[in-house]
Structure formats: structure tokens, C-alpha cells
Amino acid sequence: MEDEDKDKDEDSKNNKEEKIDIDTIKKIYKAGYSAVKEAASYVKPGVKLLDVAERIEHNIIEQGYNCAFPINLSINEEAAHYTPSFQDEKIFNEKDVIKVDFGIEEFGIMSDCAVTVDLSGDHADLVDASKEAIDAALSIIKSGVEVGKIGQEIENTIKKRNLAPIKNLGGHGLGIHDLHAGPFIPNFNNKDDTKLEEGTIIAIEPFVTNGKSGIVIEGDTCEIYQLEAEAIVRSQNARKIMSAIINRYKNEPFAVRWLANELDSKFGLYSSISEIFRTGALNAYPVLLEQSKGLVAQTEVNVLVGTDSCELLTK
């Protein structure tokens, strides 16, 4: 009986691996890009961030995918990692610049792309600089190119508009159940001579700011966590939340609000997360803020590195 169970597990693993071919990969990335574009279409003045988040995350699950991470709806000087809290009442305002950053997951393959929505219509320079930096990077990406040189192309393009790249954020490789695999792709020339390898899937994501620092710092708000290790916690509520995290979010980041159905109170939910975090069981992803409070725009695409060029997967 034990051998039969082992054979079944092995067959299930093999069937799953068979599905991970290039056509499946392209299908997942295409669906991920469509989800980001759909989410961006919901961003309008007066709309609750929570409504947008719940709608797009629900739609993805209905389509048979998982969320690679909670949708990021980062506004103005927030560069990344703002996702609505449980019972969040925050709305979009008509002067906001919003980064819509989201990804989907299937078979461990994860998309990760972003667009910027400028509700004011006053910051086309920021948005366009980020898009142009993508085009500049794509023009040189191929096997053997040094990542520092990609950063140089991004930086040069952004500076032509008298704007600045965010220097401590950048692109990254995308692995199986690994959203931020190597190599790191800088948004400036950091002199890194690491060479891209054929067949690698990478995210290129220029962050552009009109701020003076070009650096992000961690804010006080944190709604996104990821399981690092299992831990023993004391309170009954924390044990319940820990069990739910292990069962439902063992591999990918999660939003605190995704666990709201486990407990009756908001206080109980957040105090449980705090208790678990203090044990070292969770990695936290606090909101990242441009240090000088400059506005930030972001565009992010995913590409497959080829011998002489690259293929855009998020299209």
C-alpha cells in the first residue's frame, strides 16, 4: 500500500512537470499581463482600493490560477507593497499616481508585471520615462549581456527627461516558486558584470521618480508577509492563523486580509500576525516610500532571454 501511494505521488509529480512547457509558460504570463491591465481599468477616482483588490484576485482564482502575491496598489510616493488592509476604506483620488503591480501563479510559474495609472493626467513624463526605459532595456537584452549595462540603458533613458531611477529597487529573475530569483537587474549602472543566461526569465521594472533622493525606505505600514519557517506560538488565535498560513500560503506571499475568515475580530487577526512575526516565522514586506516624498511611476514586464534577443512574455 505504501508503495502504491508513492507511485501515485510520483505520477502526479510527473504529470505536473509535463505541463510546464514553453506554451504553458507563455499562457501563464499572458494571463498575468491581462490581469494587470484589467485591474488598472478598475482604478478610478472614488473607488475603494479594497474593491479593486478583491475583484481582481477573485477573478484570477475563478480562472483557475493562484495569486503569485497580493495585488500592490501603491499611490504617489509609495513605490511598492501597498495592498489594502482588512476592511480598508481608502479610495483613489483624482490626483493620484497609482502603481498596479500583480502576478499570477500556476505550477510554480509566476508572472510579475506592473503598469502606472496617472489619474491626474499631469505626470505623463514619469509614466512615459518608465515605459521608454523598458524599451531601451529590451533592445539590448540577450544571452551574455551584463546586467549593469542593462541598468545603464535604463538610467540613461530616465535621465533624458530630467528624472531619476530608484536605485535600490530593480528587476529580477523569476524561478519556480521564487518570485525574486537571481539575477538582480539594476535600474542604474551598478557595475555588476553578471551575464544573462539563455532561457532565463526575468522581470524588468524601472521605477522612476521626480524626487530628489532616488531611494526608497520602509514605511510603517505592512500588509504583506511570507512564511519563512514554522514556529510554535502561544495564543489560540495565533495558532489558528499559523495553521492557516502553513496550509494555504506555504510558498507565496500573502495579504493579512486573506486570513480574515479565520477569526471574528480585526484586532485578533492583526495581533496574531504580530505574535507570529515576532517568532521569526514570517518575512515582512512593508510599504516602500520614496525618501524625499517624490512621486513614483513603475512599468514592469517579463521576458525570456534568447541567444540574440529576448521575447516579451507579458503582452
Task: Print the domain residue range for 257.
Answer: 224-284
Scored b (16 or more CB within 10 A) or e, 93-103 reads: eeebbbbbbbb
Q: What residues pair up with 173 in beta bridges, in sequence order? A: 181, 202
Q: Which of 75, 87, 21 is nearest to 50 (CA)?
A: 87
Three cell numbers written together for 28: 501563464
To the nearest whole number, what is the mean pLDDT of the chain?
A: 94
Q: Which of 136, 87, 33 is nearest to 269 (CA)?
A: 87
Kindly give the pairing relationship between strand 201-204 and strand 113-118: unpaired
Question: How far is CA 279 from its chain centroid?
Answer: 25
Are both 274 and 210 inside the same structural domain?
no
Confidence at residue 20, expressed as pLDDT on a 0 to 100 scale? 77
Number of domains, the chain? 2
Are both 174 and 124 inside the same structural domain?
yes
Q: What percent of the chain lies above the pLDDT cut of 70?
A: 94
| CATH code where residue 250 lies | 1.10.10.10
In whole angstroms, give the CA distance from residue 11 to residue 4: 10
129, 177 contact by CB (below 8 A): no
Contacts of 210 (CB under 8 A, 6+ apart): 123, 125, 126, 163, 164, 294, 295
Are both 171 and 232 inside the same structural domain?
no
Element counts in the chain: helices (H) and strands (E): 7, 18
Res. 5 pLDDT band, cuts 50 70 90? very low
Confidence at residue 9, expressed as pLDDT on a 0 to 100 scale? 47
Q: What is the pLDDT of residues 206-258, one digit of tens each?
A: 999 999 999 999 999 999 999 999 999 999 999 999 999 999 999 999 999 99
Are both 13 and 101 inside the same structural domain?
yes
Confidence at residue 211, expressed as pLDDT on a 0 to 100 scale? 97
Are both 170 and 253 inside the same structural domain?
no
Are both 158 and 46 inside the same structural domain?
yes
Q: Which helix (H) or strand (E) holds 200?
A: none
Q: Can you give the three-state secondary structure of 203-215, one letter per residue?
A: EECCEEECCCCCC
Are both 228 and 202 inside the same structural domain?
no
Are both 204 and 280 inside the same structural domain?
no
| CATH code where residue 25 lies | 3.90.230.10
Confidence at residue 19, expressed as pLDDT on a 0 to 100 scale? 63
Q: What is the pLDDT of residues 10-58, one digit of tens each?
A: 444 444 445 678 999 999 999 999 999 999 999 999 999 999 999 999 9
Tell the burial category of 146 from Cβ atoms under 10 Å away from its Cβ (0-12, 13-18, 19+). middle
Three cell numbers written together for 151: 541598468
Q: What is the pLDDT of residues 169-193, one digit of tens each?
A: 999 999 999 999 999 999 999 999 9
Question: Mind telling me the catalytic residues?
Answer: 101, 112, 172, 180, 205, 300
Are both 94 and 231 inside the same structural domain?
no
Confidence at residue 12, expressed as pLDDT on a 0 to 100 scale? 45
Three cell numbers written together for 255: 495579504
Are both 141 and 235 inside the same structural domain?
no
Are both 130 and 64 inside the same structural domain?
yes
Res. 277 pLDDT band, cuts 50 70 90? very high
Q: What percent of the chain lies above the pLDDT cut of 90?
A: 93
Q: What is the pLDDT of residues 195-216, one digit of tens each?
A: 999 999 999 999 999 999 999 9
Contacts of 217 (CB under 8 A, 6+ apart): 288, 289, 291
Are both 136 and 154 inside the same structural domain?
yes
Q: What is the pTM of this model?
A: 0.93
